[in-house]
Structure 1
Amino acid sequence: MPRWLFVLLAAAFVLYTDDYVIAGILPEIARDLDVTEGQAGQLVTAFSVTVAVGAPLAAVVTSRLPRRLLFAIALLIFTAANLLAAVVGSFGALLLLRIVAALATAIATPAIFAFAARQAPIDKAGRFIAVISLGVTGSIAVGVPLGTWIGGVFGWRATFLTMGVCGIVVLLAVLITLPQARAEDTLTGVRDQLRVLLQGRISLSLIANCSLMTGSMMMLTYLAPYLSAVAGADVDDRALAFGLAGVAGILGIWLAGEAVDRWGADRTLAIGVGAIVASMLGFSVIWISRPVPLWLILITTTFWGGMAMGNSPAVQSRLASMAGPLAGHALALNTSSTYLGVSGGAAIGGVALSVVGPGALPLASAVFVLGSLLLFLVSRQSNSRCADPPRSQSTQMRNEK
């Protein structure tokens, strides 16, 4: 595999770590800037909303930029925002800088996945996307704990300083290794672009991904109270459960990439989503049988983690294939649907936890995950009836040659 692919993996790792790490240093930020932890939590909300809204818009605005230049601009913005966050003196200024950093993420992350998919050999697209996805999972398993530790030992400003330095390193690596690729093939008219992106197969896939993320993140967000209720898990036990799930997720992503190339995205996705539904049923049985031994719940959470995180290569490979030359735009919309799903999972799960209790979480998650499976199946049928997306002028010229 080319060196630039692993550089883009590092870029995804750094960008997603910057997104998630804020949760680990919220108490220190709140205390130092004299705000409540609830107010400090709005840093996470502002970041997520900015990425969800900004990713599709950024895909349109930057579509004609060469990818090497686009990544360089995004990483420069990212680096500047984090270095300034390390010295900022007010909460309002920090909030503004988090929005700026989120814009950099919105510009770069969908383009990273699209670039990997389009540069991959035809029989290795799943594996190339899986490599980039490892950066996302790795940010949760490694980046966030490391960033939280740095913030706890050296102060929260050191965490942002570290992210800024990492941004510089990745920027240099991108400039050195990334090929001088042309701009994306999006020279078709806006009306043709909308016709492709609003096709039923793509719209259904985006809604399905949102539903899948809602169900998955609902359980992940409130896994700690569930573990405490069914197994009396303490802090160390919960850390072990999350750690095993993260390691399983890394393995699941790689295996899913292999499966996409061997079996196709649709079959891989059906197996992965079906396994999540089975995991939720297992969580429900454990709830009914509580209390249960810790080892039993660890087996279940590890299997679930591998399946839940392993669906990313199939979802993105499938969507990129449907959108053709508009893969960057489609994956930007997929980023939005992912963040909306994450927000929805946290909100709906919080209501379920408050009204019914932890035992409602697996069943509620299963409903959304099963709904996503049905939507993916319907979009597959629509896919078989749809023609290929319109090609750009440059693509047509290359084919004629």
Structure 2
Amino acid sequence: MTMTMVVWNMDDYPIPDAAGIEDDLGFIRTNIQQVVHRKGFHGWMEIDAYCKRINSDVEEKLSNAGIIYLPSCTRTYMFSGVNKAAPMDMTSILIHSALTNTESCVPLCFVVIAKAKPEGELDRVLKCLESRGHGILLIDPTAITGSFFSVESLLACARVLRPPPPRTDLSQGQEEVEEEDAYKIVDFLEPIRPVKEDRTGVFWDAEDFPFPPFSTPDEIYGKIESALLKRRYTNKPSIWVYLDDDKKGTWRGDVLIGDKKWWASRIYFLPGGGDKAARRIRMANDLLFWIKDSCPYTSTFQSYSILFSDQFKDDAEYAELLNSLALTEACNILSVIPTQDIIIEPESDPEWPGLLIDGGSWLGRWD
């Protein structure tokens, strides 16, 4: 059965201040259902709302209309008191929903009511979901005119990026081996093909954990791979490195140019945005796609994810997300956080990054 998740970003398309419109929000659900059905999305449907902050009265009226306030589903939100914690980014919620949906034999469909800026993270995530077989309907309120949530105004700016999928996604268990292009940048815009062996994915924040100066990408990869092999991880790990878009360095400008890399090893340098929050969101989203692609329920092989970052320890929402994945999904997540005990200048440590790895802790484990 086809299942559709509607996500309405209330920060992008807020309820207007017109008197009385908040009294009964049932028309919103009715009109959304009409638009979604007319665009070819049928079957079971859940309608959710998302925003950074919400008034408790509005949340109650949404609930009465059969619309779920998404952040309210997390333990962090439920127990965060009067000043509710700001939720994780909406893009991470979309991927997590795609990852944890096990009630349907076809990929979950998404209807997103939000502003998707070209080359923004929402635009990228929708393309990633589209490539993994998820039906996508985007309603961008930037161009909405007319009455609030009228059927006509929604239809006018509704765009089907991918119709509901009739096929089974490759990442859902079908194993395929294809020749690898050593110089292609793997950026999750396409699903990572399953392989018949254990695998290791490394997600590295280069701002929190700088690399040895004047090293080449192949040299960095070799050091990380060697340290992992000594600790009995799988060989040929895939490594994703996240850089601050606004900073320049000795090789930073070279590795972020073009869609091909000039080195052969499996290390990929990706733009992480201009601040810590953007880098945290991009890293978390890519980690979720990695888990979705490499941890199918039907696989008997192990998948290891190693997260080198200082961006998650103080974010309760993302910490809850990662711990829940480590507990419920077929994946192993090692978190390495820079502290005074393990921060060693790479150039002064011949075993780098071995001590960093040894200082990590497994998420979702108490042993």
* The structure with more strand, counted as a fraction of residues: 2
Query: Could you tell me the TM-score, scaled by structure 2's length?
Result: 0.27
The structure having more radius of gyration, on CA atoms, is 2
* The structure with more helix, counted as a fraction of residues: 1
Which structure has more relative contact order (CA 8 Å, sep 6+)? It is: 1
